[in-house]
Amino acid sequence: MVVTKLTRVSEIRHAQRADGPAAVLGIGTANPTFSIHQDMFPDYYFRVTKKEHLTHLKDTFSKLCRIMGLERRFFHHTEQMLNANPGFLHGTPSALDARLDIIAKAAPELAASAAAKAIVRWGRPATDITHLVVATSSEARAPAADLALVSLLGLRANVCRTALQLSGCSA
């Protein structure tokens, strides 16, 4: 009797899976529209944080930026947004909540832009997607950006989702 139940479970699990190895069929990337060239970043950073008087730190920071190997830095926030919300720079609890609210909307939109590019390269309809992996270094909330992305892309509700959150630069 036990063997029969295990056999049925095994058959059900096999029917729910594809034959053969898993494959990544499309990768897309998207960046916020606001960016700063790496050479200009130290000046920008010290200006917006109002720390231009700390020249010894700025020199060290400039050296670090040169050896980092980046060409551009991309941001969702602009200098105008930072000036309008000074708490963003000081890390107050209310500012953190406001920043997370901004990211909760922006992250799925950026992910949808990247995913749309990947789907076009793949050449199949979005409804054929069975699994979705979303990696972000911007937020960690529940529900995560993957749920909003499913809605934005019009994917099936039963798509298997994996969210890798706050994974740093490796995201």
Residues recognised as catalytic: 169
Query: What count of other Cβ atoms lies within 10 Å of the Cβ of residue 7?
Result: 10
Contact 70, 38 (CB under 8 A): yes
Q: Please state, in angstroms and rounded to a whole number, the distance separating the CA atoms of residues 38 and 65.
A: 7
Q: Please state, in angstroms and rounded to a whole number, the distance separating the CA atoms of residues 130 and 146.
A: 13
End-to-end CA distance of the chain: 47
Query: What count of other Cβ atoms lies within 10 Å of the Cβ of residue 42?
Result: 20
Residues recorded for the chain: 171
Spatial CB neighbours of 171, under 8 Å, sequence gap ≥ 6:
135, 136, 137, 164
